[in-house]
């Protein structure tokens, strides 16, 4: 169990490191790599390996879709704030707060629509 956790952390960390290193020279390419659903795909592989349950995986993939949507405005708010002179830290915090609020709204709306996460 501990070896698998370490392996998972290593692979996930490598993905994040690659995005960071590539983004220094090529911001667009780094953004492209970051936008790929690599973490989601790797997470689904780990989940399937731990619990190969069709319904559980289907619910997980569907919930991931719904949770990606409220995270997208963050990627518009942060550059807007940065270009208006707001520091990186406050812009990042504002983006995260916006995402959390939109997540909460998404959960409430999804529940009313009968979507379970």
Q: For residue 117, is pLDDT > 70?
A: no
Q: Which residue is associated with the tokens 């379970």?
A: 116
pTM for this one? 0.72
Instruction: Report yes or no: 78 and 95 within 8 Å, Cβ to Cβ.
Output: yes
9-34 pLDDT, tens per residue? Answer: 898 889 889 999 999 999 988 888 88
Angle between helices 88-112 and 74-83 (to 10 degrees): 150
Q: Which residue is associated with the tokens 């916006």?
A: 98
Domain boundaries, the chain: 1-52, 54-117
The helix/strand/coil state of 84 is coil
- pLDDT (0 to 100) of residue 8: 82
What integer best gives the mean pLDDT of the chain? 90
Higher pLDDT, 88 or 65: 88
Report the alpha-carbon angle 61-98-44, nearest 5. Answer: 15
């Amino acid at each position: 169990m501990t070896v698998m956790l370490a392996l998972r952390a290593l692979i996930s960390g490598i993905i994040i490191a690659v995005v960071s290193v590539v983004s220094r020279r090529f911001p667009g390419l780094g953004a492209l790599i970051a936008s790929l659903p690599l973490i989601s795909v790797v997470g689904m592989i780990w989940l399937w390996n731990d619990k190969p349950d069709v319904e559980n995986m289907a619910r997980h993939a569907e919930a991931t879709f719904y949770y990606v949507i409220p995270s997208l405005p963050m990627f518009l708010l942060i550059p807007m704030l940065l270009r208006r002179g707001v520091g990186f830290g406050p812009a990042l915090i504002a983006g995260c707060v916006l995402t959390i609020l939109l997540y909460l709204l998404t959960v409430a709306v999804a529940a009313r629509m009968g979507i379970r996460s």
